[in-house]
Structure 1
Amino acid sequence: MDYLVVFFCFAITLHNIEEAIWLSKWSQYSSKFQKPVTSSEFHIAIIVITILAHLSALSYLYIPESNITKWIFIGFLGSMIFNAIFPHLTATVLMKKYAPGLLTGLLLNIPINSLVIYQMFVENLILWKELLIATLVVGIILLALIPLLFKVGGKVYPFSYVD
């Protein structure tokens, strides 16, 4: 199971790198999916989210008996699966323009996170109810955190640039 948790860290990091490289430029196109964001705003947000994801995985690895570490970790797993579909796949289809993060979301996040979740079910470590509630709670927290992190990014790096 430990190696699967490491794969989660690998997948989310590559996904967030893909977004960090291309999302700020993509966000400049008129869209109901994303308000325009500068690179500096987005980079701060993506760094913090990546750190939180890694902390959730490491906490679960080192304290697997703790329900809170398990729930936060499975919440991240579920949220990143959901994130690959909404907004990445949905935005790509509706806008007819590639949404950064789609490729790594579909090829890494969905299969790896699904495998981790499957293995947790096989080992009787989680219940469906836990997965659904944790995904909902962590997803809502992440969605609420992102605009705040954009603001912090705009203040920490007041210069704005779009690559």
Structure 2
Amino acid sequence: MEYFVICFCLAITLHNIEEAIWLPEWSQQATKFQKSVTPGEFRFAVIIITVFAYLAAFTFLFVPQSNIAKWTFIGFLGSMIINAIFPHLLATIVMKTYAPGLITGLLLNIPINSMILFQLFESQVIEYKELIISTVVVGGCLLALIPLLFKIGRKVSY
């Protein structure tokens, strides 16, 4: 399981680095996909989310018997798979311009997270119901947290 946690952390880190470098500039093309954000506020938010992802992954690794740890980790796995499609792939198609995070989402997050989920299903650690509910809850929490993190990031980056 250590291998899977390391792969997840590497994939989400590379994805978030890609976004941190290019998404703030891309967001200046104000659209329905991304509200305009400054580099400071975006980078603050993405660092906090990355830390939460690491905490979820390592808590699951070290306390695998905890349902909360398991559900949070699989919620992150599912959320990052969905994130590669909505908004990254959809924004790229609709806007006809590359949405930062698409490449790492498609080439890292989807295959690595899918492989981890497959192994968790194969070893009967999780069930589909847990994956769906966890993805909805963690994804919803992340979506609700992002505007707050942007607001805090705006204050601390100036």
- TM-score range, shorter-chain basis? over 0.9
The question of 1:130 aligning with 2:130 is answered: yes
Q: Could you say which residue in structure 2 is the equivalent of 1:56? A: 56
Instruction: Give the distance between the partners of 2:145 and 2:136, measured in 1 at CA.
Output: 14
Q: Could you say which residue in structure 2 is the equivalent of 1:97? A: 97
Q: Write the mapping of 1:132-147 to structure 2, written as runs, cut at 5 A.
A: 132-147=132-147
Deviation at 1:157, TM superposition (A): 1.3
Per the alignment, in what secondary structure is the counterpart of residue 90 of structure 1?
helix
Per the alignment, in what secondary structure is the counterpart of residue 99 of structure 2?
coil
What one-letter code is carried by the residue in structure 1 that aligns with 2:149?
A: L
CA deviations 1:81-135 (Å, max 9, x no partner) are 0000000000000000000000000000000000000000000000000000000
Q: Could you say which residue in structure 2 is the equivalent of 1:116? A: 116
Q: Write the mapping of 1:6-155 to structure 2, written as runs, cut at 5 A.
A: 6-155=6-155
What one-letter code is carried by the residue in structure 1 that aligns with 2:63?
A: I
Instruction: Give the distance between the partners of 1:6 and 1:131, measured in 2 at CA.
Output: 20
Structure-2-length-normalised TM-score: 0.99
Per the alignment, in what secondary structure is the counterpart of residue 34 of structure 1?
coil
Instruction: Give the distance between the partners of 2:104 and 2:150, measured in 1 at CA.
Output: 22
What one-letter code is carried by the residue in structure 2 that aligns with 1:146?
A: I
Q: Could you say which residue in structure 2 is the equivalent of 1:161? A: none
Deviation at 1:4, TM superposition (A): 1.1
Gaps of 5+ in 1: 159-163
Deviation at 1:2, TM superposition (A): 1.9
Instruction: Give the distance between the partners of 2:148 and 2:44, measured in 1 at CA.
Output: 10
Deviation at 1:30, TM superposition (A): 2.5
Instruction: Give the distance between the partners of 1:39 and 1:103, measured in 2 at CA.
Output: 20
Q: Which portions of structure 1, spanning 4 or more consecutive aligned residues, are displaced by more than 4 angstroms?
A: none
Instruction: Give the distance between the partners of 2:12 and 2:35, measured in 1 at CA.
Output: 22
Structure-1-length-normalised TM-score: 0.96
Deviates more, 1:2-11 or 1:103-112: 2-11
